[in-house]
């Protein structure tokens, strides 16, 4: 286990809360402090830490890897931040994008021509973990003269197809 400032701060907070709670049950300070000291790691790792992981949306960041992108589409959201920041795909042709990412999953809709826009390819990135997450991650690649000029990361509502 790596001891970080956040770990120390949160352990102190848990200790203080336990101490205050146990102080209402028994007025002996030494016993309350001893029980709080023993219970703090258990309360922290079995109550507080899981709760924080459920409500937060932290996820690991990974570098772009073409094989992982194709083989594990539900984990693409881990690679997209680095891909956008490093401009990995900017300047690539449509053929290079097909080799790196595979065929586009859908095209954006152009309201002016009332049809699909072949200059805007979209890929699903998966769903970020979290308890209250109701949106899937997506990325839109914009082409100009068949060269990628922009990547747009956005969220879209999760929809499930009904079977009849």
pTM above 0.85, yes or no: no
Do 75 and 139 fall within a single domain? yes
Q: How far is CA 18 from CA 40, 103, 108, 125, in A?
A: 7, 55, 54, 41
Q: What is the pLDDT of residue 152?
A: 94
pLDDT for position 145:
95
The reply to whether 164 falls in a domain is: no
Residue 163: what pLDDT? 64
- How many structural domains comprise the chain? 2
Whether 9 is covered by a domain: the verdict is: yes
Domain assignment present for residue 132? The answer is: yes
Mean pLDDT by 10 residues, the chain (164 residues): 78 85 85 82 83 74 90 90 90 94 91 89 88 86 95 88 64
Query: Are 100 and 26 part of one and the same domain?
Result: no
Q: What is the pLDDT of residue 120?
A: 94
> Which range marks the domain in which residue 41 is found?
5-55
102 and 27 housed in the same domain? no
């Amino acid at each position: 286990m790596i001891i970080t400032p956040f770990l120390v701060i949160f352990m102190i907070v848990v200790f203080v809360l336990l101490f205050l709670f146990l102080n209402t049950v028994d007025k002996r300070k030494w016993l309350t402090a001893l029980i709080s000291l023993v219970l703090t790691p258990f309360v922290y790792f079995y109550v507080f830490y899981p709760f924080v992981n459920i409500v937060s949306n932290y996820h690991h960041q990974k570098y772009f890897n073409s094989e992982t992108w194709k083989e594990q589409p539900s984990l693409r959201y881990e690679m997209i931040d680095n891909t956008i920041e490093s401009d990995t795909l900017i300047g690539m042709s449509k053929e290079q994008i097909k080799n790196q990412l595979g065929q586009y999953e859908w095209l954006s809709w152009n309201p002016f021509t009332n049809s699909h826009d072949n200059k805007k390819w979209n890929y699903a990135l998966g769903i970020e973990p979290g308890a209250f997450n109701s949106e899937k991650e997506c990325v839109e690649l914009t082409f100009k003269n068949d060269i990628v000029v922009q990547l747009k990361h956005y969220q879209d509502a999760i929809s499930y197809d009904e079977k009849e």
